[in-house]
Structure 1
């Protein structure tokens, strides 16, 4: 017994002085948090590493306090058996989140514009195959997908003139304008994994971003890895859905490289609606010194998808899965291969002066057999954007001046053929197309007081296009035709007033213009509508933001007057044509609210409950619109739902289990200018559930499953407007399921 006593004392001493390894994680996403300050009761301080871990040689139970900017602090006892500590993001996100809208980084609470943020937490509540559902949880934003990978973007009703594709919305990806100089955007070339966050600026933004009344979408995919990471993902679901992704992130000094490849395939819900997309992305971030840094991106995209076409009411009732007659026989589809290379450079002259410049090159090979014709295009484009920021004091008050320029040009060989059983037949017409757009912009921000920020912006815009008709088999005129739009000044006046540290008012007056795209002037039957005028509009807006404790509120009211509104109609051959339609009055209310009902440490079964809701009230009407002898003035604006309400409810449980529920109500939508045909109101409900399990210090595993359209609604996620033959409907998928897994290995 005497011999065992010393061993017993050693064992007791060792037990009371054991190593404690803590892993600190985000309480909502479960991802590891680096650089968390860990303070012991003794006053000693440590920081978590890039794996979110810290090892302490201390007695247990251990009294610690954890700090990280943007997160609620934690103080309490930790036992030797406790592996994970969860910190929750601060709920006052409006003041804690910085956005770069209008080329100036400020907390969202201080921004004088209507901005919605879409982040990974929004993307990861759905099946991660498209951007549609995540963006549609934000007020004032609607993205439609009439067929898989066939997007149409509407910010405040701006899809009226977009029968297909994305128009009248300016889109940037990693600071590069991916909206072509002719005003169109091939948003479907990006996979969801190529986007990490998005800022949606609603309303005219021409004072900084040039042409476009429909707003701006800034997509970010920064390559700045802090941790060596290998990621492998797999997803499978209904209608033959399969998606795989492999990515590597490698830190290099203070910068690094990220490389990924992703493939997504699906047979589609409807006949002739398959999609196959492969995207390769390589990005680099290279700090040269304290003043300079270089950013690069390479994106290679290969997209093929079938177009089932719209149905009339009888066909919809008979079988919503069927394709439009003729679509299969003519192989109605799109094949598109694109390469985008970007180079960015930033230089800090001093603490009060800096420059940021981004250049790009892109190529595009586009092929589109359609029921009525067969289109081929081969294009090349280039451009860039630069801006300078200067900070100084004016009359003793902080003053910021932003000045810069953007220029783009595209050259395209475009040919239209007949379509014989899905094969290009005799050429009908061929053109060489050239589109150019550029603008200078200036913006002044003056902090008149600690609470009052005044912003004045202005841009000078230039745009033109050339159509050099090489062949016209019908005997029409050939030769060069140009259209140059008069230089347009686009101003913006805005203010923001902080009521206190957690709430602010804002107001703005802004102008915008949107020239017609080449696709709107040069239509598929070969005519050239060179008389089509640019849309011009003025927007008046007021708003209020609140971020306090666990509550966030963002409210906006606006009035937008648009002149020379471009609308669509379809001729007897089924070709979509365009015309100016007088003016429209667009009045609206947009509101978003979220509340963190519950958040606790992992000691309890339910660790977090969060509720959110987004309301969109768009009461848009034709003010002055007469077509032949019919007067549509006073009618609802075609394709716009008056009321939309999206609600979200998120649960976080012990065991790193999460459950996300999303419900969307969409009001009835007028489908023609006469307001005689409507899509019925519908309720769309989605569910995703899963868990994230740290299976070792370096490996995390996530397994999840979900249900889309849980209520099995019959609806269209995008309709054809003013079609010939009553072909309004593009049925969306019925109730469907998916299952996926992700593995992250940190090295």
Structure 2
């Protein structure tokens, strides 16, 4: 299958060169960075270069993508517009994220992905990311680096996500209030205060969201507070701060069998002869997350600079489940330092990047019986210490003939210490410390890029990834401490092509990859539905990702037009993910498709904005059927999801701006699931997503 992907990429490559050779010199324009690929600057791999000059697959979401295209204030729909990225929401607030991979490791939560906010690590030492602790309304930009990126960002075989807050207006202050309401009891409000004066940039955001939920036992209430500040204390020194607090509660309705799903998709998991229902046990998640990070950037001169960050975090987590009641507290500490040295004047201009990252998370985890949503008799009392360290170096060299070579290497070390304390005096086993230390590994990455003029580039790369079991995998909900689970290893081979034609109207980004995974970590469930994890042999992951867009108009300051933006865009992901050498008991599952990954994902949309203030966004998403278990005996239904937003933004005098919008989701009223329970016990795979629903919102801002 891979040769077909490469052939497609080469065909697009040749077609683009022909188009570029036929066109005249581009007319200089001033466009938004979501339109003009030639000018988009990304931070991935610490290059701070144009996307066109970055030898990696990087997906970019701007504030328009995050906060305007879709009405519902959630990260999920925006992330799903990127090829190679799949975000699930099994119930409101329960996120799952996969980058060039499956979600079989994540019954819920985000694993095998590293995340950062302006160099501050958000992923803890145990490999877990509280993605649902972020509110999309406080975000201004997301970069998604697809594939292993261990040469600079440490352990992981999935990818890396870089978050940024809202851009603060220079030399101005801004206050914005917002509110929204919609179907199924949806309600939200927000307040944003920003000031960019006196060599500082400060942004304070509070956002509230609540909903009764589409299904029984699926209500959600979330409050988020974020503070970002950047202070230029001298021409060479900048100090930044990031503060986050999230208070989240969402109910978990549980998975349904196919018969239950077809009979009443709004139902929660019913009781069985041996287990109570989700509603009777008040199943849900209570999560409070606090995070405080400090960053210090020092520029010795125009060639050498260093950024050093430190952070502390705390998570209070409670999960009344069907069979038990888990209470967990996580305390995290960590830091990261990165130094860049630029040597621009030699025969081969080179930029060196060196640094290190150290993370530590201390977890106290107790399990109780669950009596109707109330913690009962204690069952287990455990402590887990996770440590993760990374040392990395990278060199980026400009070669003759417009080639650029990037080579990186990192050393990664992951360690766990586990202690179980006795909970009963009679026959109790004394507390014993168990260690699981994985052998340190070296992860190299090499990439070569060539630019063709100002509008076209191509790259090839070879990168390695390493993903140790996360803390929730080595100590799963089924209990115990898994001393036999091995890290997942991977090597990715990739070729990419991106560029633009027709004076920047037509833009394309195509990449083909082959990721070979060994010791793949897969999820299992016991009879009660609690998960545990095993190594599942090899997986071959081959894929083709394509992103195209065409702008029908190019805004011009000299000749105003009706439309500021009129663009058609298209995203396609083709995958062929298969198990190799995979034995489950006596059954050979080799050559089966990996569950949870659609072979074909198509997303297309049209964005329109007029100078009169009207704007509209229409998005259509299609996923063909895919297996829901390792045996490939159960398949999903194809997904056809239509979403639309219509709004009006208007200035009220010189300082005030009013923004009114209405949005519709699942406008085709399809019964579908935005997140299946993979390899579910009892064939409870199905979590119904909301039927056709609408919402309306308002934003009012003042700037001075």
TM-score normalised over the length of structure 1: 0.87
Shift of 1:432: 1.3
Task: Give the alignment of 1:388-403 within 5 angstroms.
Answer: 388-393=339-344, 396-403=347-354
Match of 1:229 in 2: 174
Unaligned ranges ≥5, structure 1: 1-69, 74-86
Equivalent residue for 1:110, pick from 50, 53, 62:
53
Match of 2:303 in 1: 352
| Residue 92 to residue 723, structure 1, CA distance change in 2 (3 Å) | closer
Match of 1:131 in 2: 75
Query: Is residue 2:544 matched to residue 1:593?
Result: no
Query: Is residue 2:186 matched to residue 1:241?
Result: yes
Any idea what SS the aligned residue of 2:672 has?
coil
Match of 1:479 in 2: 432
Match of 2:685 in 1: 728
Match of 2:376 in 1: 425
Match of 2:216 in 1: 271
Task: Give the alignment of 1:218-367 within 5 angstroms.
Answer: 218-221=162-165, 224-226=168-170, 227-325=172-270, 326-367=277-318
Shift of 1:609: 1.9
What CA distance in whole angstroms lies between the structure 2 residues aligned with 1:606 and 1:97?
22
Match of 2:41 in 1: 98
Equivalent residue for 1:380, pick from 328, 331, 334:
331
Match of 1:508 in 2: 461
Match of 2:402 in 1: 451
Match of 1:57 in 2: none
Shift of 1:610: 0.6
| Residue 91 to residue 167, structure 1, CA distance change in 2 (3 Å) | closer
Kept in 2, the 8 Å contact 1:92–1:547? The answer is no
Kept in 1, the 8 Å contact 2:102–2:595? The answer is no
Shift of 1:600: 5.5
Kept in 2, the 8 Å contact 1:158–1:214? The answer is no
| Residue 428 to residue 611, structure 1, CA distance change in 2 (3 Å) | same
Match of 1:12 in 2: none
Shift of 1:608: 3.8
Shift of 1:566: 0.7
Write out per-residue CA displacement over residues 544-566 of structure 1, whole angstroms, 9 at most, x where no aligned residue: 01123211100000000000011
| Residue 71 to residue 679, structure 1, CA distance change in 2 (3 Å) | farther
What CA distance in whole angstroms lies between the structure 2 residues aligned with 1:604 and 1:416?
63
Query: Is residue 2:566 matched to residue 1:621?
Result: no
What CA distance in whole angstroms lies between the structure 1 residues aligned with 2:219 and 2:678?
23
Match of 2:515 in 1: 560
Shift of 1:298: 1.1
Structure 1, 247-256 or 579-588: larger mean CA deviation = 247-256
Shift of 1:659: 1.1
Query: Is residue 2:145 matched to residue 1:201?
Result: yes
Shift of 1:256: 2.8
Shift of 1:654: 5.0
What CA distance in whole angstroms lies between the structure 2 residues aligned with 1:563 and 1:333?
34
Query: Is residue 2:692 matched to residue 1:741?
Result: no
Match of 2:589 in 1: 632
Equivalent residue for 1:190, pick from 128, 131, 134:
134
Task: Give the alignment of 1:162-173 within 5 angstroms.
Answer: 162-173=106-117
Kept in 2, the 8 Å contact 1:503–1:546? The answer is yes
Match of 1:681 in 2: 638
Any idea what SS the aligned residue of 1:648 has?
strand
Shift of 1:710: 0.7
Equivalent residue for 1:524, pick from 477, 481, 487:
477
Any idea what SS the aligned residue of 1:273 has?
coil
| Residue 316 to residue 476, structure 1, CA distance change in 2 (3 Å) | farther
What CA distance in whole angstroms lies between the structure 2 residues aligned with 1:689 and 1:448?
48
Match of 2:525 in 1: 570
Write out per-residue CA displacement over residues 674-701 of structure 1, whole angstroms, 9 at most, x where no aligned residue: 1010111121010000110101110010
What CA distance in whole angstroms lies between the structure 2 residues aligned with 1:603 and 1:543?
36
Shift of 1:606: 5.0
Shift of 1:471: 2.5
Shift of 1:223: 6.5
What CA distance in whole angstroms lies between the structure 2 residues aligned with 1:675 and 1:733?
26
Larger radius of gyration: 1
What CA distance in whole angstroms lies between the structure 1 residues aligned with 2:329 and 2:361?
11
What CA distance in whole angstroms lies between the structure 1 residues aligned with 2:465 and 2:339?
23
Query: What is the Cα-based RMSD across aligned positions, in Å?
Result: 1.7
Match of 1:141 in 2: 85
Kept in 2, the 8 Å contact 1:293–1:347? The answer is yes
Match of 2:357 in 1: 406
What CA distance in whole angstroms lies between the structure 1 residues aligned with 2:413 and 2:403?
33
Structure 1, 521-530 or 208-217: larger mean CA deviation = 521-530
Shift of 1:107: 0.4
Match of 1:64 in 2: none
Shift of 1:71: 11
What CA distance in whole angstroms lies between the structure 2 residues aligned with 1:514 and 1:586?
16
Kept in 2, the 8 Å contact 1:224–1:284? The answer is no
Kept in 1, the 8 Å contact 2:138–2:166? The answer is no
What CA distance in whole angstroms lies between the structure 2 residues aligned with 1:90 and 1:322?
44
Equivalent residue for 1:612, pick from 551, 565, 569:
569
Any idea what SS the aligned residue of 1:317 has?
helix
TM-score normalised over the length of structure 2: 0.92
Match of 1:368 in 2: 319
| Residue 71 to residue 174, structure 1, CA distance change in 2 (3 Å) | farther
